[in-house]
Amino acid sequence: MNQLEDQLRESLRRLEPPAGFAERTLARIPPPAQGWVPRLVALFRMPALRWATVGAVIVCLLIAGWVQQEHARRVRAEGEIAKAQLIEALRITSVKLNTARRKVQDVGRRTSELQAPVDESGYGIKS
């Protein structure tokens, strides 16, 4: 067991990195992007913010769908009211026109009864 422990200690002992290791490692890291677009893209790479963004988009879509549905319902209700008003206006107009037609027919009957008889030449007969 002692030999195993010695090998483990030897494997896990602290070693100094070779010269220039830090510089070579830092040179491999890409430089930070300049401007607001790369920063914004970097924000969306975080998992929690990504899910929050997806949730916010879904909520916005649900609200937009609900608003659209309410608008369509309101337009449909206004259309039904306009239809009822039109039918009532047509009914009232029909009643008024029928009344006027009856009056015109009554006046026409009375004037034909009051007219003097006409001879064959088209002139009234003198009595």
Please write the tens of the pLDDT for every residue from 86-121.
999 999 999 999 999 999 988 878 776 666 566 666
Q: Which helix (H) or strand (E) holds 33?
A: none
pTM (2 decimals)? 0.44
Rounded (10°) CA dihedral 73, 78, 79, 80: 90
What's the confidence (pLDDT) of residue 66?
97
What's the confidence (pLDDT) of residue 81?
97
**Residues 25-31, mean pLDDT to the nearest whole number:** 87
Please write the tens of the pLDDT for every residue from 31-83.
777 888 877 777 777 788 788 888 999 999 999 999 999 999 999 999 999 99
